[in-house]
Structure 1
Amino acid sequence: MREIKFQAWDLDAEQMYNWESIKQLFHEHLDHPRVKVRQYTGLKDETGREIWEGDIRKDSLGRIFKVVFYDDLAAFYGEHPGGLIQSLADCGPDSEYLGTVYENPDLLEASE
């Protein structure tokens, strides 16, 4: 069974918070529109770095994608600009971390 963990990006403070900080700082504000909660996918890349929802990564073919969770499929996927969607199990483990959609949205725009 995969480990379930969360992070939250605070749009105002431009800072990422871990789960312990979220519980202390945002216990009344988890549904706040200025806080974006991220879920751990349960996967790590080749360097041992955890892969999180909202990460921007580069696959082994050099294509940039973001990590997304599809509620209707109950699974994480790699979503490439232009519409290609891959199972995260296929493109994630050998991918390279580039940033997040919150800290580095320009990375996705540059790859379109």
Structure 2
Amino acid sequence: MEIIKIRYTFRHKGSGNIEMKWYSIGQLEERAAAKLSPVFSDEYELISRDLFTGLKDKNGRMIYDRDIWDIGRRFQVEFEEDRCGYFPFANDGGCGCCADEVYQPYEGDIIGNIYENPNLLEAAEE
């Protein structure tokens, strides 16, 4: 069974810099969050908690919710409750997969995420 992992995304209140930290549930249960990293302080604003999907891209990189996935076309990875899984979504909110187009994680690359690289999805629309 794959370990449950969470990616935390923070914004520094003074500089606006984005910081990301990755933790397993075991690490979070082991000690208080404030002792894990300085980002768990009043100097930072929590932007998002993103779960590891349990999938890896063709290079073995872990895929998290809200990552940007490139399979020749760029998509944002999102969890869809109705279908109980993670799927690629186009920037317009439409599902990036259809019945005749089923993509596997190993077919593409994770090239960033919507917090550090929002321009990657914008560039894909042009």
TM-score if structure 1 supplies the norm length? 0.76
Cα distance, 1:73–1:97 mapped onto 2, change above 3 Å: same
Q: For 2:110 and 2:86, how far apart are their aligned partners in 1?
A: 16
1:24-53 CA-to-partner distances (Å, cap 9, x unmatched) read: 357799xxx733001101111121111111
Give the stretch that moved more between structures: 35-44 or 2-11: 2-11
- Cross-structure match for 2:70: 58
Extract structure 1 runs of 4+ deviating beyond 3 A.
Answer: 20-29
Q: Which runs of 5+ in 2 are unaligned?
A: none
- Identity fraction in percent: 29
Q: Which runs of 5+ in 1 are unaligned?
A: none
Cα distance, 1:73–1:84 mapped onto 2, change above 3 Å: closer
Cα RMSD for the two superposed structures = 3.0
- Cross-structure match for 2:11: 11
User: How many residues were matched structurally?
Assistant: 107
- Matched to 2:83, the amino acid is L
Cα distance, 1:27–1:11 mapped onto 2, change above 3 Å: closer
1:66-95 CA-to-partner distances (Å, cap 9, x unmatched) read: 1101233321111123423338x7242211
